[in-house]
């Protein structure tokens, strides 16, 4: 099952971290941009080619260190169809290298629109009776559940059919997440209502995997360690995707609370920390971006594993 596979890849590599792929031209070393612009000019297509070179290079450098990558769709969308064409290639390349792919697109809608999103990222479409074609076929998708169960069920239905998983936004890492997500209604908090929805759907639609986690996971930010601790205790069946480590202020001693007593059930994201590691090396040209990314991914793994032993 999809969430089982994620847990297994984490155990194999003894590394509970995911490398975020959030390309922007500012983060890409000059020599890659030069190569891309020489081919396609300073155009959307040229920029997309620079994203491709950079993401492929990062995947090559990280493939035996991290269990998963998380492409952030927004950065590809800003290049329009040229960016999406490269996003398709990045997902395929990462899967080829044995990485688990979490598409970070935070989609959410209802009914047939929601089905279209599910099919876009986790399924596919049959064109006039032809076999199903999948533009992305990621392993997992992040989902925004503000619309309620109607906006989650089409995803879980497809997750069962195509053996996929989702991460539902529960408590995000940003400061203003408290405005809505921490509102208290009687004995409930908005973000636990979202987690409760995940648990209810898990039971109703039999979404549990053999390692004790549901196909519906939860996004819970590293920047709220006490929430992490409470949510871990309250929702043992939800796998956590934890953003906010590094640049946003979350530390290894904070994220340890995302894991259960076996060191299971969570994966911690780092995007800029790994992608932009080359900016902090002596070289400074970015020609060493792969070594720098790899070194940072190993440092991060070791940092977290000082607090978390993966059994």
Give yes or no for residue 92 binding its own copies (CB under 8 A).
no
Q: Binders of its own copies among 183-212, rule CB under 8 A?
A: 183-186, 188, 190, 193-194, 197
Q: Binders of its own copies among 101-120, rule CB under 8 A?
A: 106-114, 116-117, 119-120
Annotated active-site residue in 9, 33, 70, 106: 106
Q: Binders of its own copies among 3-22, rule CB under 8 A?
A: 22
Structure tokens at 301: 């793994």
Q: Give how many residues touch its own copies by CB under 8 A.
A: 74
Q: Which of 8, 95, 97, 135 binds its own copies (CB under 8 A)?
A: 135
Report, in Å, the least distance between residue 81 CB and its own copies: 4
Cα 135 to the chain's mean position, in Å? 18
Q: Which stretch binds its own copies (CB under 8 A): 61-69, 130-138, 209-217, 284-292?
A: 130-138
Question: Partners of 113 in the beta sheet?
Answer: none
Give yes or no for residue 72 binding its own copies (CB under 8 A).
yes
- Say which residues have a Cβ less than 8 Å from residue 149's Cβ, sequence separation at least 6: 197, 201
Structure tokens at 305: 């594993």
Q: Binders of its own copies among 36-55, rule CB under 8 A?
A: 37, 42-44, 46-47
User: Does the annotation mark 9 as catalytic?
Assistant: no
Whole-angstrom Cα distance, residue 217 to residue 35? Answer: 39
Q: Which of 148, 236, 249, 284 binds its own copies (CB under 8 A)?
A: 148
Q: Supply the DSSP symbol for 28.
A: S
Q: Binders of its own copies among 169-188, rule CB under 8 A?
A: 169, 172-181, 183-186, 188
Give yes or no for residue 157 binding its own copies (CB under 8 A).
no
Give yes or no for residue 310 binding its own copies (CB under 8 A).
no
**Contacts made by residues 297-303, CB under 8 angstroms, sequence distance 24+:** 297/15, 297/17, 297/19, 297/62, 297/65, 297/66, 297/270, 298/65, 300/17, 300/245, 300/246, 300/268, 300/270, 300/273, 300/274, 301/14, 301/15, 301/16, 301/17, 301/65, 301/66, 303/252
């Amino acid at each position: 099952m999809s969430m089982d596979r994620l847990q297994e890849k984490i155990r194999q590599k003894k590394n509970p971290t995911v490398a975020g792929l959030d390309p922007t031209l500012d983060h890409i070393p000059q020599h890659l941009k030069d190569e891309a612009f020489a081919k396609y000019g300073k155009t959307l297509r040229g920029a997309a080619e620079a994203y491709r070179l950079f993401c492929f290079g990062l995947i090559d450098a990280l493939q035996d260190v991290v269990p998963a990558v998380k492409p952030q769709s927004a950065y590809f969308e800003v290049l329009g169809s040229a960016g999406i064409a490269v996003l398709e290639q990045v997902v395929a390349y990462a899967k080829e290298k044995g990485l688990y792919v979490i598409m970070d697109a935070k989609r959410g809608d209802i009914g047939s629109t929601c089905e279209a999103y599910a099919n876009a990222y986790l399924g596919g479409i049959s064109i006039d009776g032809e076999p199903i074609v999948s533009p992305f076929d990621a392993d997992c998708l992040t989902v925004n559940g503000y619309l309620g169960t109607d906006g989650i069920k089409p995803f879980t239905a497809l997750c069962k059919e195509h053996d996929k998983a989702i991460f539902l936004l529960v408590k995000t890492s940003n400061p203003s997440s408290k405005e809505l997500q921490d509102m208290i209604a009687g004995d409930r908090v908005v973000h636990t209502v979202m987690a409760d929805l995940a648990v209810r759907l898990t039971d109703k639609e039999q979404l549990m995997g053999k390692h004790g986690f549901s196909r519906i996971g939860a996004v819970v930010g590293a920047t709220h360690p006490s929430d992490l601790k409470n949510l871990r205790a309250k929702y043992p069946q939800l796998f956590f995707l934890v953003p906010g480590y590094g640049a946003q202020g979350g530390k290894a001693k904070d994220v340890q609370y995302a894991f259960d007593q076996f060191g299971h059930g969570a994966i911690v994201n780092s995007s800029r920390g790994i992608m932009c590691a080359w900016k902090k090396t002596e070289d400074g040209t970015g020609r060493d971006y792969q070594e720098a990314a790899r070194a940072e991914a190993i440092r991060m793994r070791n940092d977290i594993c000082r607090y978390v032993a993966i059994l």
